[in-house]
Structure formats: C-alpha cells, structure tokens
Amino acid sequence: MQKFRKIGVLTSGGDSPGMNAAVRAVVRSAIAQGVEVMGIYKGYRGLIDNEMKQLSYRDVSGILHDGGTCLYSDRCHRFRFLEGQQEAAETCRKNEIDGVVVIGGDGTFRGGVDLTAQGIPTIGIPATIDNDITSTDYTIGFDTAVNTSLSMVDRLRDTCESLARANVVEVMGRDAGDIALEVGISVGAIAIAIKEVPFDEEGLIKKIKAGRDSGKRNYIVIVSEGLGDYSEKLAKLIPEETGVETRFARLAHVVRGGSPTLRDRMLATRMGHKAVECLLQGESNLVMCERNGRIEPMDITYALKLDRMYKGKLTEGELRPYSLADITEMREICEAKRRYMLDTYNMADILSR
Ligand code: F6P
C-alpha cells in the first residue's frame, strides 16, 4: 500500500457553512497520523496555479464556527479541460502531494474523478446548501441554510400579520426543492412551489380566499429558485386574484453565509475525519455520504451516475458498466428520495389548509 506523507485539501464551487469545519477535521486528522497537509487556495484553480500553503494544527484553530471557506473557492473553467487537469496533477507531483480531499458539490466531484484519472488519489466531501447530492441524505451547509432562511421568513410573517399581507419568498437550491420544502414546512407556509411536484395554482388562490374570509392575516408562499421567474409571477397573481396585498422577497446568497449549525459542524467533522481515514488506507475516488445517520463512503463515479439518474439526465448507455444489482440499488435510492419529497410535500399541503 502507498505510504502517504503529504495530502492536499481544497474547497470548490459555491461555498457553504461548515466547509471550514471539514477543512479543520481533515487537517487535524491527517496531522494526527503523521501526514502533512497543504491547504490549496481557490479550489482547482489553486491546484493549477500552485497556490498552496502547509497548514499546521494551529492554523485551523478558531475556524470551526466561521461561515464561508478559509481556503476560498472558485468555479475553475480551466480544470474542465484535460490540459488543466494534467497541470493540476503535475502541481501535486511537484509538491509531493500523495492525495487530495476535495470539498464541494457535484461539479467538485466531477473534478475529483478527473484528478484521480490523472493518478492523484482523491476523496470528496459533499458541501452545498442545496442538498442536491443524491448519494447522501444531507450535505454540509443545508441545515444552516434552512435555519437561516426560516428565521428570516419568521420575520416576514410578523410584518405580514400586522398588515394582512402575503409574501412570496424565493429561496436558493438550484434545481433542488429541498430548501424550499423544509423551510416551507417549518414556517407554516400556505404553499410551497418546487420543481419536483406540480404546483396547484388554483388551489393556492382558493386557500388564500378561504383564509381571508375566515380572518387569516398572513400568507407565506415559499418558491424554489429552480422555477425561474415563477416566484415574481406569483407575487403579481395573488393580489389580482384574491385582493390580498402581496410582497416579494428573494433570500438569495444571504443564506449561504453565517456560522454553521451544530448539525453541520458535526456532519463536516465526521466526514472530514472519515475522508482522511479512507485516503490514508489507500482508497480513492470516493465520496463521503451520510446514510441513515452513518458516514458511508461511495464510489464517486457511481454517486455521480446515481445523481444523473435522480435528475433524469442519464443518456443512452451510461449505465452499461454497471451490474443489474447496482442499477437496481440506484433505482431504489432514487425512488426513496422521490417518495420522501412527494410524501413530505403532501403532508405540508394537508397541514396548510
Ligand atoms: O449551489 C449553491 C448555490 O448557492 C445555489 O443554490 C445557487 O443556485 C447558486 O449556488 C448560485 O451561484 P453563484 O454563487 O454563482 O451566484
């Protein structure tokens, strides 16, 4: 088995609260095993441009509770091409980096597969507020983002109640409705619009009219950004159809910052520790996943295919390398996630009448 003397760690793509906690866990777990750690700055761009620094145990003190990422982040265009990937691998060899832990979302993991293909063992840690990595129940940053969103929407509800208004609130999540769904339920929204479930516009109008006639004064509608400009359209439609004065709010990047919650700190720490354990045991091309409360590593390529299956993006022949048992397992995971989204959505609908 290869003896690891030095590893690298980077954060890439949209930042998320808890990335620092993951960096800290990676650095300290590796140092505890006698392995040096290079902090690579600005994601894959730093790997190409050789922007890195050795990190000590102390260098990662006092970052556990910080939002953002102390290693900075980037969406590196050059790394999408073979030349960039080769340059990045060359930088690793020059710096005697034996393996890399990459922290980010699905784009980061595609980069991890490319780096592994260039001979640099790579392990991924899922960190994105979107919770859109199908292989893991939760991604680092999601819990903080939903908690921040709900405390903001609670404030909006106060002012709606005072003035008998509706507020349509658009939340981030890219194409995934996870943030919208959990925030919508937790604030008692009258309706939630996400890409995964058809939206009953007429039903919403009826609910608002019935609420208005029975003395209800606040109406919160949560819309996922994946629906494009639908949130703004809805904010115009509601007053036209119901007479209820309506405001619009887009929470946007504000929920991507801030101090991570306990859940995100724990998830990041457990995943960071496990990632180092796997890397030093000679494993590669794995992504850390939390499944039913346990940290279970999964092959990144497999996890990316699973993701494409869930998102309906698979093209002809992509599953050819996989066994029937693998494909059945992938289908079951996708089905379980779809069922969860639908059942939770239906529950929210029943509770919001
Ligand atoms: O993936 C995280 C995320 O915050 C999404 O929710 C959002 O769609 C996107 O990134 C925004 O990207 P940017 O930071 O480039 O504006």
User: In a 3-state reduction of DSSP, which class is residue 195?
Assistant: coil
End-to-end CA distance of the chain: 61
Angle at 126 (CA atoms; ends 223, 63), nearest 5 degrees = 100
What span, in angstroms and rounded, lies between the C-alpha atoms of 46 and 346?
A: 45
Residues 29-38 have pLDDT tens digits of 999 999 999 9
Q: Work out the average pLDDT over 230-248.
A: 98
CATH number of 147-257+339-351: 3.40.50.460
Complete DSSP assignment for 150-179 = HHHHHHHHHHHHHHT-EEEEEE--TT--HH
Fold classification of 6-141+260-301 (topology level): Rossmann fold (3.40.50)
* One fold for 6-141+260-301 and 147-257+339-351: yes
Q: Please name every residue paired with 163 in a beta bridge, in sequence order, or none if there are none.
A: none
Q: Work out the average pLDDT over 89-105.
A: 98
Record the tokens describing residue 122, joined without a space. Answer: 């790579």
Ligand 1 contact via 172 beta carbon (within 6 Å): yes
Give the DSSP H or E segment for 25: helix 19-32
Ligand 1 contact via 121 beta carbon (within 6 Å): no
Atom 2 in ligand 1: residue holding the nearest Cα: 14
Q: Is the pLDDT of residue 1 over 80?
A: no
Out of 130, 132, 143, 264, the active site residue is: 130
Residue 78 is given by DSSP the state: G
Tokens 């392990």 identify what position?
123
Residues 157-189 have pLDDT tens digits of 999 999 999 999 999 999 999 999 999 999 999
- Distance from CA of residue 99 to its chain's centroid? 23
Contact 28, 82 (CB under 8 A): no
Domain ranges of the chain: 6-141+260-301, 147-257+339-351
